[in-house]
Structure 1
């Protein structure tokens, strides 16, 4: 049965009475568990594929199947969310992810294993869109950036914890135990998601007709200007963010650092990333989105331009910490900008297109880095990624509305 599009409840209650703590478990608990579940299996997927007879390149493709599943299902996810509502979309995503992980661990056929990975990616698209759509409606505009930054940060924490839990399980019970950890986590996310209260659409003003149903085509037509301007900036941001995950280990290898040293540097950068998401959300709410979005890209751009000049572990650590800080303060930025510009009616369709653009950027960034590293040099590829970050900063600075208008569109339609 089709659910009506959720609408904000904040207009019926003063935003001053709102508290993020009151909704913390229901809103952020599923994100923590979903991130933990995915983090638990990601390092194990290529090892399992190799055990099934895959070549190294085929094993890498199995990991990519998760991203491909997410990329190709952003728009279908918007249809699912619009039809079922955010709460049941979140539940379905957790169950579907659990089924995909179960298929991965119980099959001995590489094709079915790939299908399981693709299912995990599909669920990722549905879950990410549904949680963003729900929080966009449930949280007053004055708290939106803090809520969405925390949402992104909590999922990162889950992704960080997951591999450690999986490592302990694998040490005790073997590779399949990592999938067991993942299944328990995502099913727990589904169970918590089922407890999320539904949002009721406010009554129509007297004399107003219900709005006509939206479609993907009508969404593209009605919002083409923001998608072709700020949406381009979001694609550039995603390209830089995705590339950063490869930049640090690749340059550490170029400097002939020990793998343990490279892992430590990468981990410390990730630690900084996770520490700053909430203060950044406060700044976005109180000062405006530009105050975080632009510095985030400028800092990452400078760090990447300087990284090819590093000559040892210490200087690489400094550059990596700057990248982690820049990425961390931008936690939730893409979700917040999407929520700000999404219409109340047809929000899920808009966010589906928004997330599709973000994922396209995330796919193109590492591909461009790889091409430039092969055709020219790794240093050139990293420096070019830094220039892309500056391009993203300029685009965001030009197209993000000023503070007084940062949420008007998402609230007024």
Structure 2
């Protein structure tokens, strides 16, 4: 089990390692080409998953899918940030987060169906087919170089990634830290619900059903959340989302039955769904017109570190004090994340004037 967990964690590690290089790569070759390259890399990595003869080869291949995910995620965020008008940005990015949630919800069911006929390899084939279809869809997208040049009125000047990070360090060490806390709390919910269900003695089928219901609630709120962000500002979504997630964590150790656990899991889904697209939107708002992808790579590094570190934090506190205190600790982290969002999210940005 420990070795299997390490292999799964390789994807998150690959994503963290790939964030900064992804920004540099996207700046140099463009968002569309970067996404195409990422789909090619993930296809090769998934093919390797099917044929590698040992578990360490599998771990390397899974890590490569994480690197590809970093490039893909950053390039698509940078693409939408450029292509969508500012007054629609939050709705666009929250919709992006929402459809990703839908894919994450139905993917395991399609994978389970494929595994019924192909064994464990069926899950990798589902991912591989999805990557190929994504690649075909990307071929219809236009490049954004002409849009960027028209907005700036001149050819785009490349800056070094180090210079971009240095120039925007005040944002990264404040709002970026807030994104790290948000990522940690969000990721912990995927760990604490199954662990508490195990603590209560629930079987795997019941636990899966509870988690699925939570995911269903999570999927329903992405467009309303984006609309609120566009109309009233980002704080109106980010702070309530973290407070609801914090409250759900604090309530979880008080549950002692499947119905009570289901109610708290639904509350977690509500809180997570409220925040659909918030990190991508905040990153897009803070990113500069020149060096946008490089800035987003650094900003996503904070969020992805939180995503990867949240479960490890739960494990560490559990080892020291037990599962209940670990869940309460993540609830307090959610309160801290809400405070950071309230303190560091700037006022709603004004739309940029049209070129010319």
What is the TM-score of this pair, normalised by structure 2? Answer: 0.95
Residues 234/406 of structure 1: CA separation in 2 closer, same or farther (3 Å cut): farther
Deviation at 1:231, TM superposition (A): 0.9
Which of 170, 173, 181 is 1:225 aligned to?
170
Distance 1:229 1:398 in 2: 9
Specify the alignment match of 1:118 in structure 2: 63
Specify the alignment match of 2:262 in structure 1: 317
Distance 1:230 1:135 in 2: 21
Distance 2:255 2:34 in 1: 46
Deviation at 1:406, TM superposition (A): 6.3
Distance 1:319 1:254 in 2: 15
Q: Are 2:64 and 1:109 equivalent residues in the alignment?
A: no
Specify the alignment match of 1:182 in structure 2: 127
Alignment of 1:317-396 (within 5 A): 317-396=262-341
Residues 263/411 of structure 1: CA separation in 2 closer, same or farther (3 Å cut): farther
Distance 2:213 2:199 in 1: 19
Q: Are 2:45 and 1:100 equivalent residues in the alignment?
A: yes
Which of 149, 153, 158 is 1:202 aligned to?
149
Q: How many residues were matched structurally?
A: 353
Distance 1:236 1:153 in 2: 21
Deviation at 1:111, TM superposition (A): 2.9
What is the TM-score of this pair, normalised by structure 1? Answer: 0.82
Specify the alignment match of 1:240 in structure 2: 185
Deviations 1:304-335 (A, max 9, x none): 11111112111111111111100011011000
Which of 78, 81, 97 is 2:23 aligned to?
78
Distance 1:269 1:104 in 2: 30
Specify the alignment match of 2:77 in structure 1: 132
Deviation at 1:170, TM superposition (A): 1.3
Q: CA RMSD in A?
A: 1.9
Residues 204/262 of structure 1: CA separation in 2 closer, same or farther (3 Å cut): closer
Deviation at 1:211, TM superposition (A): 6.5
Distance 1:101 1:317 in 2: 35
Distance 1:173 1:305 in 2: 42
Specify the alignment match of 1:67 in structure 2: 12
Which of 255, 258, 261 is 2:200 aligned to?
255
Deviations 1:238-258 (A, max 9, x none): 000111100111111111122
- More deviation in 209-218 or 370-379? 209-218
Specify the alignment match of 1:41 in structure 2: none
Residues 365/204 of structure 1: CA separation in 2 closer, same or farther (3 Å cut): closer
Higher RCO structure, 1 or 2 (CA under 8 Å, sep 6+):
2
Distance 2:354 2:98 in 1: 24
- More deviation in 359-368 or 197-206? 197-206
Gaps of 5+ in 2: none
Distance 1:292 1:407 in 2: 20
